[in-house]
Chain A
């Protein structure tokens, strides 16, 4: 089937197998920041934003993003100019093994799109569904709070 999708701001056209999962498709196209963790919708490592909503790409068919906007971690900031969330995760030392971080940052970004000044409870709810096996949640929550403040000041 033909798939028209905007990935990280770029309009793309593909010919895909409709039985493919979105996770496998994105990784096969080189978006390796989308991590394959549990493959059953539990861990959140494969989280991407679809039309600004966080969704688990391991439990979606590729065709579900037809004519939609997909954001992976590769589309959020650059090595030269990281996104404030990426900066603050580094600043706070919120990254240990790093496997959950792309999904975690994308979920945080989805939260900040709709809620630029979240409370701690709202941050926890926004990150819910992203499991960190290194259990670094405290610093991650702090990093999101700092990034939100920075983004409000920059705007």
Chain B
């Protein structure tokens, strides 16, 4: 039974309070407040820990873990793909409540912001209580085993690389109504050189799988290639062979496969257009 609601002011205080039995960190609260039969005694509310900010720092944007999805959506200088992922989180009051850190710490498979962060190769700053900076690949492999909220660690900051000249990123998500959980989401990021050779490709699939995954088969196919040499249908077949989708009561595996194919096609067409513009 909940008996305590604590308000640390610093990261050091957060770890002092995490010593309390049955305690848990509280960010926006949209997930935790809905959990039934909470076996918790203490909430450690992060609202005073000064982790709500977006700052341009050298070649990346530093986003504090308590920054809301609405603040990300409204921050002009951030990449449109990330702003769209933040917008997809939910309606306006939900965007005000959901935080980027909470989204990463309590990992529901339909969440919108984390797959986009992974596609963009963001770094995640975690305290346990020692500070560690993880790449997205490290963070998602780590979270797959056990999410951060269960590990009694604190996500403090997310570092999103600034867009480089020859790059393209996109977030697509499919829902049957606007206020439901995503059925399938695809985040992507590409870089290419002045000759049009693709040097970096990230495809991150979420919602239609148990945990977000990179579609490495098509990443490998695209890396080092010229886009004109690529058959989109072949890419789609490779993607579908590479991954195992799960069904839900709202959409079958076959339906989700079709949506994934459409999204891959749209992504590649969007990439082609961007490459033409930047030629």
Residue numbers of B with Cβ under 8 A of A are 1-5, 7, 26, 29-30, 32-34, 38, 43, 45, 47, 70, 90-94, 96-97, 179
Prevailing SS type, chain B contact patch? mixed
Q: Does A36 contact B (CB under 8 A)?
A: no
Some 7 contacts from A to B, beta carbons below 8 A apart, are A19-B1, A21-B33, A47-B93, A61-B43, A66-B5, A126-B92, A129-B179
Find chain A residues with CB under 8 A from B3 CB.
Answer: 18
Q: Does A41 contact B (CB under 8 A)?
A: yes
Cross-chain contact A64 with B26 (CB below 8 angstroms):
yes
- Selected from B33, B70, B91, the residue in CB contact (under 8 A) with A59 is B33
Interface string of A120-131 (1 = CB under 8 A from B): 000001111101
Q: Does A84 contact B (CB under 8 A)?
A: no
Nearest-CB residue, chain B, relative to A17: B2
Q: How many A-B residue pairs have CB under 8 A?
A: 74
Cross-chain contact B92 with A61 (CB below 8 angstroms):
no
Nearest-CB residue, chain A, relative to B96: A53
Taking A18-B43, A41-B34 as contacts, is the C-beta distance between A63 and B5 under 8 angstroms? yes
Cross-chain contact B94 with A56 (CB below 8 angstroms):
yes
Find chain A residues with CB under 8 A from B5 CB.
Answer: 1, 18, 61, 63, 66
A125 to B178 Cα, complex, angstroms: 13
A51 to B92 Cα, complex, angstroms: 15
Cross-chain contact B91 with A129 (CB below 8 angstroms):
yes
Find chain A residues with CB under 8 A from B1 CB.
Answer: 19
Among B5, B7, B32: residue with most chain A CB under 10 A? B5
Q: Does A96 contact B (CB under 8 A)?
A: no
Cross-chain contact A54 with B96 (CB below 8 angstroms):
yes
Q: Does A40 contact B (CB under 8 A)?
A: yes
Find chain A residues with CB under 8 A from B33 CB.
Answer: 21, 58-61
Taking A40-B34, A55-B96 as contacts, is the C-beta distance between A63 and B91 under 8 angstroms? no
Taking A17-B2, A59-B97 as contacts, is the C-beta distance between A125 and B30 under 8 angstroms? no
Find chain B residues with CB under 8 A from A58 CB.
Answer: 33
Min CB distance A64 to B, Å, is: 6
Find chain A residues with CB under 8 A from B4 CB.
Answer: 1, 18
